[in-house]
């Protein structure tokens, strides 16, 4: 291959996820009230010197799966924290519900943990949302718990003095469901795209600067699974190829099932470090990770050959599919 390529990287499509930089919301009047018609961005609580995010919240007690709690803020703005016990693989919906919450209340929702042996929840955000619920309320429609333990659910709020909210935790799949039934034949996977962790995004961006004629992309797709047993690699690849952005790979007559070692051997040199980061970040460390590879090539004109490889990586116990695509072309 020859010539130079412009650098490229994939901007993830977050599902109502926000910055974790902390700080007070915007659009405040001098008296501390929310400006009429303003839409405040509720950031995650600031990281305290202790590194335990609980120290930046007012701890209010436990929240149980299948239950709800009521919050009565007396500060403006602020953060209430609720502890939640969950098993690895449990799939939850967390929501500040319309029912039981005051009108015009603006909230943010954040998940941290699990708590370590020192009693710290750390400061790593597993999930967050601003306004995916009713109006300006918050909702996390699908959260997969990575490890068994105690988590901290944080509700951030503005314009909340003399108001109330209702926080609900529901089970939608995974190990929190009692006696799940076998999946019906041909059960499809439904993905919710989540942003990459800052660490993985940085590693990806850095690798993409190494060679201008080679570019790779990574996407994280969480899926709901409310059945016994595990989703299959064929289900994962079918759901990925159903997306129009991957339609060009559907014509590959010989897709290959690979081991992780075989996939690593096929990755361009500068992208090889991405695979262990992906697995350390998203896999539970004990599941059997499965990979299927697709290939396509095409020409965009004289001296414009293009080569592309698509790897669908199934994490069947972590309820995630990672999509890795590496490309190269000449000009």
d(CA 272, CA 266): 9
CATH class of 191-329: alpha beta
Contact between residue 33 and residue 163 where contact means Cβ atoms under 8 Å apart: no
Identify the pLDDT of residue 331: 63
Nearest to 137 by CA among 171, 167, 92, 93: 167
Mean pLDDT (the chain) is 86
Identify the pLDDT of residue 53: 97
Q: Which two tokens mark 147?
A: 């490890």
pLDDT over 70 percentage in the chain: 87
Identify the pLDDT of residue 131: 87
pLDDT, greater one: 4 or 298: 298
Q: Which two tokens mark 232?
A: 């299959």
- Summarize pLDDT for 174-194 with one digit per residue, the tens: 888 888 899 998 899 999 898
| Mean pLDDT of the region 311-320 | 95
Domain boundaries, the chain: 1-178, 191-329
Identify the pLDDT of residue 112: 97
Contact between residue 127 and residue 145 where contact means Cβ atoms under 8 Å apart: no
pLDDT, greater one: 7 or 102: 102
pLDDT, greater one: 311 or 225: 311
| Mean pLDDT of the region 153-157 | 96
Phi, psi for 50 (deg, rounded to 5)? -70, -20
d(CA 34, CA 42): 12
Same fold yes or no, 1-178 and 191-329: no
d(CA 79, CA 72): 11
- Summarize pLDDT for 17-66 with one digit per residue, the tens: 333 334 433 333 333 333 333 456 889 999 999 999 999 999 999 999 99
**Banded pLDDT at 210 (limits 50, 70, 90):** very high
**Banded pLDDT at 249 (limits 50, 70, 90):** very high
Identify the pLDDT of residue 113: 95
In the predicted structure, residue 162 carries a pLDDT above the cut 80: yes
**Banded pLDDT at 319 (limits 50, 70, 90):** very high
Identify the pLDDT of residue 23: 42
Q: Which fold has domain 1-178?
A: Jelly Rolls (2.60.120)
Q: At what angle do helices 274-282 and 198-207 cross, to 10 degrees?
A: 170
Nearest to 174 by CA among 286, 87, 294: 87
In the predicted structure, residue 16 carries a pLDDT above the cut 50: no
CA 115 → CA 62, 137, 203, 224, distances in Å? 14, 26, 27, 25
For 280, residues 6+ apart whose C-beta sits below 8 A from its C-beta are: none
Pairing of strands 125-129, 165-173: unpaired
Q: Which residue is associated with the tokens 């490229």?
A: 8
Identify the pLDDT of residue 173: 84
Identify the pLDDT of residue 39: 55
Identify the pLDDT of residue 36: 34
């Amino acid at each position: 291959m020859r010539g130079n390529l412009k650098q490229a990287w994939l901007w993830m499509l977050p599902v109502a996820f926000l910055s974790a930089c902390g700080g007070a919301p915007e659009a405040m009047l001098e008296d501390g009230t929310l400006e009429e018609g303003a839409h405040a961005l509720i950031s995650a609580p600031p990281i305290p010197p202790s590194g335990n995010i609980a120290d930046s919240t007012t701890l209010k007690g436990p929240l149980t799966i299948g239950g709800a709690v009521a919050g009565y803020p007396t500060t403006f703005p602020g953060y209430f924290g609720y502890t939640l016990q969950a098993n690895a693989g449990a799939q939850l919906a967390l929501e500040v519900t319309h029912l039981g919450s005051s009108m015009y209340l603006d909230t943010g929702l954040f998940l941290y943990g699990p708590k370590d042996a020192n009693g710290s929840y750390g400061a790593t955000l597993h999930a967050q949302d601003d306004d995916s619920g009713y109006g300006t309320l918050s909702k996390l429609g699908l959260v997969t718990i990575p490890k068994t333990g105690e988590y901290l659910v944080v509700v951030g709020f503005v314009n909340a003095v003399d108001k109330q909210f209702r926080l609900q935790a529901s089970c939608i799949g995974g190990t929190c469901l009692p006696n799940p039934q076998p999946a019906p034949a041909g059960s499809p996977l439904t993905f919710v795209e989540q942003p990459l962790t800052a660490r993985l995004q940085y590693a990806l961006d850095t690798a993409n600067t190494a060679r201008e004629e080679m570019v790779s992309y990574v996407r994280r797709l969480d899926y709901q699974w409310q059945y016994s047993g595990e989703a299959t690699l064929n289900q994962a690849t079918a759901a990925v190829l159903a997306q129009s952005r991957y339609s060009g790979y559907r014509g590959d007559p010989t897709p290959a099932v690979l081991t992780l070692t075989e996939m690593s051997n096929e990755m361009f040199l500068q992208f090889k470090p991405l695979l262990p980061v992906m697995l350390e970040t998203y896999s539970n460390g004990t599941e059997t990770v499965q990979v299927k590879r697709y290939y396509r090539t095409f020409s965009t004109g004289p001296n414009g050959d293009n080569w592309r490889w698509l790897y669908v990586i199934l994490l069947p116990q972590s309820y995630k599919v990672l999509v890795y695509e590496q490309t190269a072309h000449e000009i």
